[in-house]
Chains A and B, each alone.
Chain A
Amino acid sequence: MREILALLQKDITLEWRNKYAFNGMILYLVSTVFICFLSFRIKANSLSPVVWNTLFWIIILFTAINAMAKSFAQENQNRQAYYFTLASPEAIIISKLIYNFILMLFLAVVGFGIYLAFLQNPVQDMPMYILSVVLGALGFSGTLTLISGIASKAENTTSIMALLSFPIIIPMLLMLMRLSKNAMDGLAFSVSQDEILTLLGLDAIVLALSFILFPFLWRS
């Protein structure tokens, strides 16, 4: 437990000292939203709800892949070998998962705020939409943490990262879009229950597998 906290603290400190990387991600979000804003030339409510929703999730997906890609690649091989001698792989993956979840949640919420500011707000059931954003952040961070671990061992990390994560994330993305579309239309909670349960199940599978499989990754 103390191991996990120490590693988590290390990750947050590193991020805090390298603020340009973090600011870079925020700028990435802002400029992507701005490009969408300009290219659709938004007048009042000219974006249909389906397009609005899809666009939001695609922006979040790309931001997530960019942000998570560096979670193992930013530290060089020698330093990783040093951690290998210090900490157990379980502690490392748990701290990475928690850290990436916090980062992803922050990016998703900030992104949502920017998106609302630029592209109007057609959402009728805001708490439900926020719930889908939280579940999405959890699922994305869980999936992409392990994938970035795999990709960091390959030669061309960034393209491999996108390649490996897109197909795996599709089921989750489809479910998130359904849930958030329900929230936009302001449907009752009982309608979305299936989606919420499925998403929780998917998140649980992904997190459990990351935990089980990471030690094998770490060894190589």
Chain B
Amino acid sequence: MTLKNTWWKILGAILLVYVSIMGLAGEVPRQPILNETIRNVYFHVPMWFSMMTLMTISVWRSIQYLRTGDIIRDQQAIAFASTAFYLGILGFITGAIWGKFTWGSALPADPKLIAVEVGLLIYAAYFILRGSFEDEQKKARLSAVYNIFAFAAFMPLVWILPRVTDSLHPGNGGNPAFGKYDMDNQMRMVFYPAVIGWVLVGIWVASLKARIIKLEYNKLNQ
């Protein structure tokens, strides 16, 4: 446990403490309809960023597994995918609460909601696929193939569909860009650390999970 390997965990934890305090107590601009719910931008939006990062790492680990056949890579792929799944559910819930107060409906028909629902379905199918094999290597190889294939089919849905259809989310109907959020500089001072903090803590949780899976695997194969 040297500082060299743990600095990013400490950074992530400190950032989230800062975000929790500033996010709940800091100054936010008064916007019509949004009112105080604008604080949710510190918690809802970073969930999405963190989920995407973890999914990408998971797919990268699956590719590495297929190239090397190292079972540890596959354990990391499943750990990152399941953490991304929980972050997706959290993002979905925070979004539904936010939507209820601003759009008047928790689940409107919106391309981004469709995207996250499809993403959750894909990963649920991935977990069930893993459960249906006994042999470790076969399970690892087939689920790695599915993980890569599903990710490639999922990405266009996330990046293209919101751009060609109208969405309730800010900055949509054209290019979903940052500048369109109704944020002032003070909010950015909290928002960017929030994104970094959630991504780092997400990676931390996932790597802990990977270590647990590895220990369980070793125990089974003793």
* Residue positions of A touching B, CB distance < 8 A: 143, 146-147, 150, 153-156, 160, 163-164, 166-172, 174, 194-195, 198, 201-202, 205-206, 209-210, 213, 216-217, 219-220
Contacts and interface: CB of A to CB of B under 8 A. Distances in A.
A205 B137 contact: no
Contacts, number: 89
Given A150-B146, A171-B157, A194-B164, A216 B132 contact: no
Given A171-B157, A209-B152, A220-B137, A150 B145 contact: yes
Contacts of A206: 149, 152-153
B138 to A, nearest CB: 5
A198 B138 contact: no
B13 interface: no
A167 B161 CA distance: 15
A160 to B, nearest CB: 6
B129 A168 contact: no
Interface of B: 66, 114, 118, 121-122, 125, 128-129, 132-133, 137-138, 141-142, 144-146, 148-150, 152-154, 156-157, 160-161, 164
Is chain A's binding surface mostly helix, strand, loop or mixed? Answer: helix
Query: Ordered nearest first, which 9 A-B pairs have the shortest CB separation?
Result: A167-B121, A171-B157, A167-B122, A168-B153, A154-B132, A213-B145, A163-B125, A220-B138, A170-B118
Contacts of A143: 153
A195 B164 CA distance: 9
Nearest to B133: A154
Contact of A167 (B138, B150, B160, B164): B150
A216 B141 contact: yes
A163 B157 contact: no
A205 B164 CA distance: 19
A219 B67 CA distance: 13
A61 to B, nearest CB: 15
Contact of A216 (B144, B153, B154): B144
A38 B89 CA distance: 40
A202 B118 contact: no
Contacts of A155: 132
Contacts of B118: 167, 170-171
